[in-house]
Structure formats: structure tokens, C-alpha cells
């Protein structure tokens, strides 16, 4: 069928079963928006392109599907970049379409021209500049395939305006393969079952489950593996939800703000099975001292991650779900049993001795940790919780107790302040039956505060739990601990009245200043099934503990 480039975009999105697009139109994108106008595809107008990219990202993380966003050329494209970089660092499948000046004007410094593919080359899995409308259907097909397959990531398609208006034959390929791209390489069973030999010899094994376990939908297989073997599970920030934290073999999160017992377990273990994680510096602490007694087994779909930062005893390239499936089948077939009860005893003692804690008797403002705990209780640890970045992110990670995959959304790799609010929009629209709570600091919140309008206009029932300490809290914490309390420009004095602000947008809001009011207000907010902001006035100088100072080994924790 003959279509214009713009119509092809819309038609292709339908073929890809896209439910929703996040974006903002602009001069170089008008033809696509015109084609969109005539279609019944759902589009959410965000108030900033960064919001559109994060919303597409939040949608993708919550659903496992590819998120889609639109922006115009020039500033539209550059505004997307933070969102694309965020998605790239955390391996989130997003396809972004940007308008571009007509091909005849490319390279002439035309109005709103920017080299979108050049700028996004290091922060996308791949990108395309479409020069001929006849290539467009294939390119869109490839973009979705690339974004969603293998180690996922964002893909950008830059669409010059004349390509959008040009006509061509639309034939959408059913299948596609890309030479040299093997997204799901075969897994060698012989190599994989070596893990069981190592496990037979081990006395103190642990698993570190990362974001890859969630991406590969391997949580069930991981649970089965743990049931069969009794190997305790630690998760990374990105792996939260891949294994239920309510289970006794869960040790919670490791790393800079991980639990003491998780960090001790890594420092003591003799076998470390790392699945779908990449040994980020926030996870390992001083890398030379990381898991000093352990043989490290590293399972990852991305060959380049194996051996990148730590020496591995056994590296397995492959999809986590496949690998775990092979292991589970082998254990069941051969009836292999394991006994790590004395190790469990050690861990139990550590857990009892060093729990995550905070002082609820402290009456100086609301306790942020308590807020997160109450959210966990009220939502039965099954809501989608979005951490922003900084202290609120860490409290959301430490105290919620995640039980399901795709319920903890956080900008782990890039650490993007302002991620949470727009990501919550995407998550709620992708998973309307889930309660969605954005646990946000007042610093992060203000970085994409304009999206309150998007939430209000579209009546998206998100609970915004604002942890308001009038500081860029995490930086202030570092200044307190490592810079002699020289609070250089971390005070957010001059914050607006967030309750009035929310109300100005037409969003219900309440202020909470006492621990006693936390539960009832959160309950009201959740049950309202409307957008709801709670301004929690928390203790200003509350710190996130425990903490491994930057560059220290994991078992060297303060607090």
C-alpha cells in the first residue's frame, strides 16, 4: 500500500502493537503528528521531552514491552538525550522518533537542526537517520527488534521532514534478522552444569541477582533454583524484585547502601554466582577487595560484561532464564541435593545482629524509612515503586521489601534525578491495575515537576510520596560525612509550598509532619485512586545507612 513516511510510522507502530506514545510535537515532526491525529493510537503529551523519554522507559520497565516516544528536531532531540542515556545504562527497550530538518537542509545549520544520530550514538544501542522513505518500514522493524532483543536498549530513528511527507510502498516485514547480530546465543549445557560441580564443592555460596534476571523474565526460574539448592540470594539495585525479599533466603541489596548481611556475605562467600549484573562500582566497593575468597561465576547475555571488571572463574554467555532452566533440569534429573545449613545459620545471625534500622522515637520530622515501610505494608509489597535518585532512591530500595519483578523502577546506572515522576506515568499507563508510588526527594521532584500537568490532565492515579528535607540530601550526606559539613549549595531553601503547587495543577495534596499521620494519609492517597501528592516534612539531616564510603571495601561500612 502507498503511504507517506508519516503514515508509515503510525502504521508500523500499530503492527508493533504499540499501545501508547509519549511525546511533544514540533515543526519538524508535524507530518507524523498529523498522521497520528487521523489514527486511534493513544498519545500522551508530556510537558518536556525528557519526561516523554522517561515515561516510555517507565512503561517499558513495568511491562517488559518496548516504550515509544516522539520529539521534534533540535531541542526536542537534545531534551530526549537524558532519557535515552538513562534507558541505555539500565538496558531498557525504547524506540525514539525524532523529527529532522529536510534532507536538503541537513548540515546547513538550519533552524532547529541538530545532529541527533551523532549526539545519541554513545547513548543508544543503535540509531538511524532515514534518508529515503523506501527504507522506513524496514528501519522501524529493525529498530523494534534491536531495542527489544538481546541486551535491550534504546534505539533512535531520525526522520527528516521530507521523508515524512514523501510517498512510498509500505510493506512491513514479518521477520527480520540482522547480519552479525546474535541476540540470543546458544548456551552450552556442558559449560553451564559446571556450576553445579562448583556448587557441590562450595560451603558458602551466594547468588547476586541483577537487572538481567528481570529483563529475561527469569525470576520464577531463580526461585526454583534457590528452592532446589538453598543458595541465598542478594540483589543489586536493578535486581530488586527478582527474588522476594520477604523470603528467608533473601539477603536484600548489596553495595554502597546495601544491607550489612549482604555485604558480609559477599565478603565471606566461597562461591559467587552473579546473574545478569555488571559489577558496577556502587555494587563492588573497592574492587580488589570484592568477594576475596570466592570463585566468581558470571552469567550474562552480554559477552563484553564478562571479565570487564572482575576476574571470573567461570563465565557463561547466555540468557539467564535459559541458563537457570538448564541448571534446574539437571538438578532434578540427577537428583542432586545440597546442604548449606551451617552457612544459613551464619547468615541468620548476621541478619539478626545487623538489621536495617532507624530511630522511630526521633521526633524531628517524619522518618523517611518509615514512610517506605508503610507503603510496603499498605500495598502488600506488590505495588510499583519508583525511586528517584539520591537518598529517597536508597530508602525506597532498602525498606520496601520487593516481592515481584518489574515493581521497582529506578535510574540505577545513570542516576538521573527527575526520572521518577515521568517514569511513574509510563508505569501506571502500562500497568493500570497496579498501585504506583513515586518515592521522590524534593530535589529530584523539581527536575521534572512540569509533568504534574500531564498527570493531572490525564487523571493518572499516581501517589507521590515527597520526602521533603529541603536538601539535595545525598550530596549533603557526603558533605556531612566526608567534607566536614561544608554544605556547599545543597540547601533547597526557597522550595515552593508543594501542597499549594499540586493543588494549582488540580492534584490533591496533603502535608504530613508527624510519623503518626503517615499511615492514614498514605492509605487515603492510595485509596483515592486519583493523583495524590503527600508532602512529608522529614528530618532534614537524616542519613542513609549503612554506607560503604566510596573506594572502601564492601565490609567496611559506617552507620
Partner 1 sequence: MKETIGILVKNHPGVLSRIAGLFTRRGYNIASIAAGVTEDPKYTRITIVAEGDKRTLDQIVHQLNKQLDVIKVIVLGKEDSVRRELALVKIEVKSAMDRLEIIEIANTFRANIVDIGKKMITAEVTGPTAKVDAFISLMSDFGIKEIARTGKIALSRGPMSIREEKEDIEWEE
Clarify whether 111 is annotated catalytic.
Answer: yes
Footprint of partner 1 (CB under 8 A): 117-118, 121-122, 125-126, 129, 146, 178-181, 302-304, 306-308
Cβ atoms of 272 and 315 closer than 8 Å = no
Min CB(479)–partner 1 separation in Å: 29
Crossing angle between the packed helical segments 320-334 and 194-201, to the nearest 10 degrees: 60
Cβ atoms of 79 and 55 closer than 8 Å = no
* Contacting residues for 95 by C-beta, under 8 A, at least 6 apart: 66, 67, 68, 69, 140, 143, 144, 147, 154, 155, 156, 157
Question: Smaller CB distance to partner 1: residue 303 or 354?
Answer: 303
Active-site residue, selected from the candidate residues 125, 161, 321, 428: 161
| 332 three-class SS | helix
Min CB(550)–partner 1 separation in Å: 20
Preceding peptide of 2 cis, ω within 30°: no
Cβ atoms of 137 and 8 closer than 8 Å = yes
Reported as half-sphere exposure (CB side, CA atoms, 13 A), residue 21 has a value of: 27
Q: CA of 59: how far to CAs of 43, 62, 93, 166, 543, in Å?
A: 13, 5, 10, 31, 31
Crossing angle between the packed helical segments 368-378 and 391-399, to the nearest 10 degrees: 40
Clarify whether 112 is annotated catalytic.
Answer: yes
| 241 three-class SS | coil
Reported as half-sphere exposure (CB side, CA atoms, 13 A), residue 373 has a value of: 10
Rounded to an integer, what distance in angstroms lies between the CA atom of residue 12 and that of residue 405?
Answer: 29
Active-site residue, selected from the candidate residues 111, 171, 200, 334: 111
Reported as half-sphere exposure (CB side, CA atoms, 13 A), residue 43 has a value of: 21
Clarify whether 70 is annotated catalytic.
Answer: no
214: cell is 528481570
Give the chain's count of helices (H) and strands (E).
23, 20
Cβ atoms of 532 and 437 closer than 8 Å = no
Active-site residue, selected from the candidate residues 8, 29, 474, 547: 474
Min CB(310)–partner 1 separation in Å: 10
Rounded to an integer, what distance in angstroms lies between the CA atom of residue 180 and that of residue 101?
Answer: 32
Clarify whether 503 is annotated catalytic.
Answer: no
Clarify whether 200 is annotated catalytic.
Answer: no
Strands (E), 442-548: 462-468, 508-512, 532-537
Q: What is the DSSP string of 120-180?
A: HGGGSSEEEE---GGGHHHHHHHHHHHHHSSS--EEEEEEEHHHHHSEEE----S----TT
Cβ atoms of 144 and 16 closer than 8 Å = yes
Q: Which residues does the annotation mark as catalytic? A: 49, 111-112, 161, 474
Amino acid at each position: 500500500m502507498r503511504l507517506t513516511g508519516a503514515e508509515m510510522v503510525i502504521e508500523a507502530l500499530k503492527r508493533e502493537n504499540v499501545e501508547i506514545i509519549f511525546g511533544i510535537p514540533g515543526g519538524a515532526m508535524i507530518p507524523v503528528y498529523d498522521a497520528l491525529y487521523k489514527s486511534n493510537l493513544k498519545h500522551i503529551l508530556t510537558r518536556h521531552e525528557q519526561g516523554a523519554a522517561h515515561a516510555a522507559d517507565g512503561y517499558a520497565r513495568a511491562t517488559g514491552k518496548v516504550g515509544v516516544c516522539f520529539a521534534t528536531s533540535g531541542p526536542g532531540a537534545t531534551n530526549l538525550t537524558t532519557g535515552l542515556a538513562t534507558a541505555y545504562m539500565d538496558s531498557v527497550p525504547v524506540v525514539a522518533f525524532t523529527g529532522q530538518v529536510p534532507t536538503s537542509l541537513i548540515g546547513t545549520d538550519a533552524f532547529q537542526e541538530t545532529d541527533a544520530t551523532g549526539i545519541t550514538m554513545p547513548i543508544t544501542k543503535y540509531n538511524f537517520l532515514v534518508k529515503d522513505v523506501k527504507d522506513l518500514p524496514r528501519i522501524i522493524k529493525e529498530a523494534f527488534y534491536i531495542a527489544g532483543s538481546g541486551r535491550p536498549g534504546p534505539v533512535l530513528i531520525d526522520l527528516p521532514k521530507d521523508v515524512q511527507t514523501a510517498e512510498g510502498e509500505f510493506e512491513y516485514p514479518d521477520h527480520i534478522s540482522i547480519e552479525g547480530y546474535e541476540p540470543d546465543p546458544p548456551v552450552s549445557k556442558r559449560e553451564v552444569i559446571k556450576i553445579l560441580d562448583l556448587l557441590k564443592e562450595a560451603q558458602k555460596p551466594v547468588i547476586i541477582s541483577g537487572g538481567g534476571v528481570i529483563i529475561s523474565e527469569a525470576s520464577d526460574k531463580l526461585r526454583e533454583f534457590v528452592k532446589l539448592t538453598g543458595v541465598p540470594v542478594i540483589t543489586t539495585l536493578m535486581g530488586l524484585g527478582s527474588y522476594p525479599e520477604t523470603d528467608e533466603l533473601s539477603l536484600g541489596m548489596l553495595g554502597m547502601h546495601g544491607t550489612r548481611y549482604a555485604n558480609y556475605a559477599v565478603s565471606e562467600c566461597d562461591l559467587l554466582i552473579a546473574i545478569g549484573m555488571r559489577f558496577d562500582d556502587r555494587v563492588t566497593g573497592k574492587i580488589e577487595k570484592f568477594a576475596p575468597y570466592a570463585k566468581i561465576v558470571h552469567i550474562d547475555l552480554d559477552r563484553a560484561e564478562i571479565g570487564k571488571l572482575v576476574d571470573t572463574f567461570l563465565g557463561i554467555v547466555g540468557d539467564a532464564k535459559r541458563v537457570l532452566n538448564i541448571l534446574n533440569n539437571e538438578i532434578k534429573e540427577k537428583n542432586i541435593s545440597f546442604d548449606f545449613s551451617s552457612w544459613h545459620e551464619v547468615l541468620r545471625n548476621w541478619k539478626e545482629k545487623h538489621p536495617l534500622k532507624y530511630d522511630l522515637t526521633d521526633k524531628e520530622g517524619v522518618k523517611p524509612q518509615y514512610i517506605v515501610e508503610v507503603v510496603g505494608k499498605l500495598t502488600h509489597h506488590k505495588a510499583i515503586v519508583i525511586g528517584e535518585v539520591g537518598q529517597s532512591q536508597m530508602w525506597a530500595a532498602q525498606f520496601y521489601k520487593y516481592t515481584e519483578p518489574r515493581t521497582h523502577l529506578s535510574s540505577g546506572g545513570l542516576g538521573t534525578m527527575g526520572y521518577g515522576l515521568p517514569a511513574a506515568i509510563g508505569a501506571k499507563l502500562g500497568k493500570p491495575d497496579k498501585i504506583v508510588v513515586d518515592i521522590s526527594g524534593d530535589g529530584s521532584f523539581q527536575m521534572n515537576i512540569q509533568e504534574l500537568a500531564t498527570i493531572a490532565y490525564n487523571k493518572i492515579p499516581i501517589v507521590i510520596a515527597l520526602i521533603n528535607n529541603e536538601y539535595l540530601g545525598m550530596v549533603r550526606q557526603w558533605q556531612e560525612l566526608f567534607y566536614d559539613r561544608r554544605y556547599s549549595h545543597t540547601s533547597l531553601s526557597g522550595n515552593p509550598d508543594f501542597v499549594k503547587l499540586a493543588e494549582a495543577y488540580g492534584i490533591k495534596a496533603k502535608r504530613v509532619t508527624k510519623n503518626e499521620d503517615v499511615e492514614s494519609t498514605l492509605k487515603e492517597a492510595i485509596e483515592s485512586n486519583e493523583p495524590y501528592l503527600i508532602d512529608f516534612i522529614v528530618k532534614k539531616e537524616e542519613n542513609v545507612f549503612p554506607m560503604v564510603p566510596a573506594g572502601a571495601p564492601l565490609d567496611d561500612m559506617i552507620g
